[in-house]
Amino acid sequence: MTARGLPEPVRATLFYALLFVTIAWGFELVPGAWLERLTAETMSGLLTALGFSSSHGVENGLAYLSLVGGPRDVYVTIIRECTAIHVWGILAALILPLSRGSWTRKAAGLAFGGFLVFLMNVSRIFLTVYLTAFDVPPFTWYFTNPTVETYHYPISFIYGVIGVAILIVSISKWFLPELADTLIALPDGFKPLFVRGKG
């Protein structure tokens, strides 16, 4: 069966999925070194503003961030995944291909979503570095000598699941109800591809 012979809802779903993959993949091609440096600089500036001793820089081509003066000093390398560029890419890939919704509301949703992604990423890195450097109950009841990895993976997982859910729900509620409508309808759009005709 050719694409032209498919029902319109199926073609629309396939087109949306194709654009989603294309846009998300396109973000993989964006150079990340500048964003890694910016993330390290932003985090160091925030920690310093809060009264902590922090520094940042680039060593051997890799951006780094430090927090010293607590029970343990923390030095982390900021890599591409630390910048949340993948989340930015998924957000753009979800919003831009929407067939409904004005471009003004799409732009507003992207701007709000981008700001929310930035705030969540900053708080995610802050929590990871701070909890590693300082002993904070109740975590100290379970972790006596934590490393960055102790907090990095669970915190990133929580932010990845709950944060993205908050992102999509808030954009759908305040800017683009079409986003939620499209995501809810996606399974039905693909269903005819897997259902054999009777007769």
143: confidence class by pLDDT, cuts 50, 70, 90: confident
Tokens representing residue 117 in the block = 């992604």
Average pLDDT for residues 30-57, to the nearest whole number? 95
Which range (1-15, 95-109, 173-187) has the least confidence? 1-15
Higher pLDDT, 181 or 143: 181
Give the pLDDT score at 12. 85
pLDDT the model gives residue 3: 52
196: pLDDT strictly greater than 70: no
> What confidence score (pLDDT) does residue 1 get?
45
Top pLDDT among 139 and 64 is at: 64
Section 170-195 average pLDDT: 86
| Rounded Cα distance, 191 and 111, in Å | 33
For residue 162, give Cα distances in angstroms to 42, 76, 155, 171, 194.
23, 24, 10, 14, 31
Report residue 139's pLDDT band, with 50, 70 and 90 as the boundaries.
Answer: confident
pLDDT of residue 198: 46
The pLDDT of residue 2: 46
Task: Tell me what the mean pLDDT of segment 1-24 comes to.
Answer: 80
Average pLDDT across the chain, whole number = 90
What is the structure's pLDDT at 66? Answer: 97
Residue type, 98: L
Model confidence at 89, in pLDDT bands (50, 70, 90)? very high
